[in-house]
Amino acid sequence: MLRYIGRRLLIAIPTLLLVITAAFFMMRAAPGSPFDSDRKLLPEIEANVLAKYGMNKPLGAQYVDYLAGVARGDLGPSLKYRDKTVLDILKENYEVSLKLGLSAIAIAAVVGVSLGVMAALRQNGTTDHAVMAVAILGVCIPTFVTAPLLVLGIASKLGWLPTAGWNDGALANMVLPVTVLALPQIAIISRLTRAGMIEVLRSNYIRTARAKGLPESLIVRKHALRAAILPLVSYLGPACAGLITGSLVVEKIFNLPGLGKFFVISALQRDYTVVMGMVIFYAALILLLNLVADLLYAVLDPRVRLA
């Protein structure tokens, strides 16, 4: 197990390197520079500014410098937000995104699995059809449609919840963004659970359990559920990617001080270091979650051997 984790972490290094390289050169290929502004800088001042950030060197040397910095855990200073390093920005803002993402995935897991199990137990019944209709809708209605519609209906017209803002993570402010983020995940998770559950309930060991005379609720909870949610574990990685994508929209619409909104703004402003920092952060997060998913899979399914 430990050796497996070690090897996976070793494989992650070239992957990260690839991400960093691609993002670095793409960002630099973009026209414009972080120091463009309406007022033209004097050539001497511009040269000074460039020298301060090491940007007067050839691109290759800057790339090597940047890699060396990353290896030391130094992501550099922001080029747009004065006196802030990229790490500062990450530290100050990751909490909001993390809180949103974790709440959304937790709610999605609980609601999605319950709906999926309910649907599977009454396959082709009314409940099943209702759940599947919700699942289809959840996949088809993108976050940038649900978010404004919910704000319009529940926040603006009815006035039940605040329309936007974070307010230090007050519950009322979190309800709408978390709901919007969780809905598509609920849809996918309930579909996966239903499919897994239907398959498992037909298997031989469930028949055996029934033949033994175990109560149905025990069979569902103890025997079937554990096998049925296995596909969910491998969905963890894509789910995380989906949440990140969703949070870009949700943080914009609800005007939340999270990481997501920095990315697009910084990319447009050519704040190279901040963009790179975000890319590295999210890539590392996804790689880590994929590893966790694989480990969990092995723990839950004794047939899987990690080598």
Partner 1 sequence: MSEAVLSAPVKGRSLWDDAGRRLMANKAATASMVLLAALVVLAVIGPYLVPFAYDQVDKDDVWLPPLQGGHLLGSDALGRDLLARLLTGLRVSLAIGLVATFVSLVIGVAWGAVAGYVGGKLDEAMMRIVDVLYSLPFIFFVILLMVTFGSNIVLIFVAIGAVEWLTMSRIVRGQTLTLKNKEFVEAARAAGLSRGAIIARHIVPNLLGPVVVYVTLTIPAVILAESFLSFLGLGVQPPMASLGTLIAGGASDMELAPWLLVFPSLLMVLTLMCFNFIGDGLRDAIDPKDR
Residues 14-73 binding partner 1 (CB under 8 A) are 14-15, 18-19, 22-23, 26-27, 29-31
Decide if residue 151 touches partner 1 (CB under 8 A): yes
Window of 10-18, 54-62, 63-71, 80-88 that interacts with partner 1 by CB under 8 A:
10-18
Q: How many CB atoms lie within 10 A of CB 99?
A: 17
Type of residue at 241:
A
Contact (Cβ atoms closer than 8 angstroms) between residue 104 and residue 138: no
Using CB under 8 A, pick the residue from 214, 230, 283, 292 that binds partner 1.
Answer: 283
Q: Which two tokens stand for residue 193?
A: 């659970």
Residues 212-271 binding partner 1 (CB under 8 A) are 237, 241, 244-245, 248-249, 252-253, 263-264, 267-268
Please give the distance of CA 98 from its chain centroid, rounded to a whole number.
9
Q: Which two tokens stand for residue 62?
A: 């800057």
Contact flags string 78-117 toward partner 1, x per CB under 8 A: ----------------------------------------
Q: Where are the alpha helices (DSSP H) in the chain?
A: 2-29, 43-52, 59-71, 86-121, 126-140, 143-150, 171-201, 204-211, 216-218, 225-228, 230-253, 260-269, 272-300
Decide if residue 278 touches partner 1 (CB under 8 A): yes
Closer of 204 and 217 to partner 1 (Cβ): 204
Cα 181 to Cα 144: distance, rounded to the nearest angstrom = 10
**In the complex, which residues of this chain contact partner 1 (CB under 8 A)?**
14-15, 18-19, 22-23, 26-27, 29-31, 136-137, 139-142, 144-145, 147-149, 151-152, 156, 195, 237, 241, 244-245, 248-249, 252-253, 263-264, 267-268, 275, 278-279, 282-283, 286-287, 290
